[in-house]
């Protein structure tokens, strides 16, 4: 069975897989945030990368599909913006005006002084462009292994860049050309290879790394009618990805295996128990880090990192549910209403144009071939 036959947009496990990827990010962050290191460099690379890499691969698959099905800039932009921005902005506000003051109070400082200063507003405003420019709120938190409130949000800027890239390439007609996605995927892979060969700092690899993972998902969507969807191939892809972790950058070999494993697994799992109607992955991803920082301030860094991760997940999931219920789901409902309204207007405009054209056509026929009763004798 090919992937295009296996994947059902309404019956898949991608929400469950994304939640699993978000929880894997909690596991990874639990080590450095609590002052620990994963002893193996290979395991550290894999655990520290697989969550975000899987997210970007799934996004590449779904976002490319979204544009190709509905290639309208306004609809696409509203859909993408309402999925990312409301939750992001509320997270910035909650971090600046709730979490940071609580952290200051827990450390014996004055929460009121922080709230009455310009620091919370500055944090929100400076990061409003979705490209994180500031990680602290008025110099807080202090005395922690990682001096910032949210080290997860930086990837959202790259996510938005990928969305914009899809729209731009789609508008100029390149996204539908079969040669285009393979070409820019090779370019992203080459840039990543150069950064590895030149031993550039890992932070400078991020644009090529995330672009490669997004493009891997997009390319799988393009070839979905040729790609087989089999559990045996998923298992093989997982083995390749794990083995590649011993390379300087596992994505040079495993970008496509990782993308294949997460996307095809999501397509093949049809059990209703895995078909989550609530997508908590985004809320888990954006709120776990600041909540973990509060846990460190509270002294829970004494726990083993894996136990710390379990507690962090238990603390974060209810907050993610609040984010979904109060912010993300209403925003997506607004998106659906707007798209339906615009679609209805477009259909009405087309019907009106058709009626006008039909009337004009009828008028032309009357002038050209008038009824016999009206002919002049």
pLDDT in tens, 71-130: 999 999 999 999 999 999 999 999 999 999 999 999 999 999 999 999 999 999 999 999
Overall average pLDDT of the 198-203 stretch = 85
| Six token digits for residue 277 | 């109607």
- CB within 8 Å of 335: residues ≥ 6 apart: 78, 79, 82, 83
> Measuring CA to CA, which residue among 261, 222, 253 is closest to residue 58?
261
With a cut of 60, say whether residue 376 has pLDDT above it: no
Residue that wins the pLDDT comparison between 49 and 370: 49
Query: For the chain, what's the residue count?
Result: 377
With a cut of 80, say whether residue 64 has pLDDT above it: yes
**Tens digit of pLDDT for each residue in 301-339?**
999 999 999 999 999 999 999 999 999 999 999 988 998
358 pLDDT band (50/70/90 cuts)? low
277 pLDDT band (50/70/90 cuts)? confident
159 pLDDT band (50/70/90 cuts)? very high
352 pLDDT band (50/70/90 cuts)? low
The dihedral over CA atoms of 214, 219, 220, 224, expressed in degrees to the nearest 10, equals 150
The percentage of residues in the chain with a pLDDT greater than 90, rounded to a whole number, is: 83
What is the C-alpha separation between 181 and 68, in angstroms, rounded? 13
364 pLDDT band (50/70/90 cuts)? very low
With a cut of 50, say whether residue 362 has pLDDT above it: no
Residue that wins the pLDDT comparison between 6 and 369: 6
The percentage of residues in the chain with a pLDDT greater than 70, rounded to a whole number, is: 91
Judged by DSSP in three states, 179 sits in: coil
Contact 309, 30 (CB under 8 A): yes
With a cut of 70, say whether residue 368 has pLDDT above it: no
Contact 47, 28 (CB under 8 A): yes
372 pLDDT band (50/70/90 cuts)? very low
Overall average pLDDT of the 251-265 stretch = 98
- Sign of the C-alpha dihedral, residues 95, 98, 100, 103? negative
**Tens digit of pLDDT for each residue in 5-47?**
999 998 999 999 999 999 999 999 999 999 999 989 999 999 9
């Amino acid at each position: 069975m090919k992937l295009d036959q296996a994947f059902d947009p309404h019956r898949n496990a991608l929400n469950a897989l994304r939640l699993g990827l978000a929880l894997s990010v909690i596991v990874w962050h639990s080590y450095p945030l609590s002052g620990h290191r994963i002893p193996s460099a290979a395991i550290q690379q894999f655990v520290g990368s697989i969550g975000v890499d899987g997210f970007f691969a799934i996004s590449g698959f779904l976002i490319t599909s979204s544009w190709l099905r509905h290639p309208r800039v306004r609809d696409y932009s509203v859909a993408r913006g309402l999925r990312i921005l409301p939750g992001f902005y509320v997270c910035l506000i909650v971090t600046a005006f709730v979490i940071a003051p609580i952290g200051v109070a827990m450390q014996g400082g004055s929460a009121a002084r922080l709230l009455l200063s310009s620091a919370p507003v500055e944090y929100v405003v400076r990061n409003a462009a979705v490209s994180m420019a500031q990680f602290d709120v008025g110099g807080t938190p202090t005395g922690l292994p990682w001096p910032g409130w949210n080290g997860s949000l930086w990837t959202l800027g790259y996510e938005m860049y990928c969305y914009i890239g899809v729209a731009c390439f789609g508008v100029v007609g390149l996204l539908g050309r079969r040669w285009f996605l393979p070409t820019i995927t090779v370019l992203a892979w080459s840039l990543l290879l150069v950064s590895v060969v030149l031993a550039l700092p890992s932070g400078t690899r991020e644009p090529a790394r995330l672009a490669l993972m997004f493009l891997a998902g997009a390319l799988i969507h393009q070839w979905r009618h040729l790609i087989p969807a089999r559990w045996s191939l998923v298992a093989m892809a997982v083995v390749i990805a794990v083995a590649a972790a011993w390379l300087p950058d596992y994505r040079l070999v495993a970008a496509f295996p990782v993308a294949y494993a997460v996307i095809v697994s999501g397509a093949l799992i049809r059990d209703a128990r895995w078909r989550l109607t609530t997508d908590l992955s985004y809320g888990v991803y954006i709120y776990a880090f600041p909540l973990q920082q509060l846990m460190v301030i509270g002294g829970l860094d004494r726990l083993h990192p894996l136990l710390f991760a379990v507690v962090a997940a238990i603390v974060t999931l209810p907050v993610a549910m609040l984010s979904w219920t109060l912010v993300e789901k209403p925003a997506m409902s607004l998106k659906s209403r707007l798209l339906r309204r615009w679609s209805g207007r477009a259909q009405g405009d087309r019907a009106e144009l058709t009626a006008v054209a039909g009337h004009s056509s009828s008028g032309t026929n009357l002038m050209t071939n008038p009824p016999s009763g009206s002919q002049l004798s």
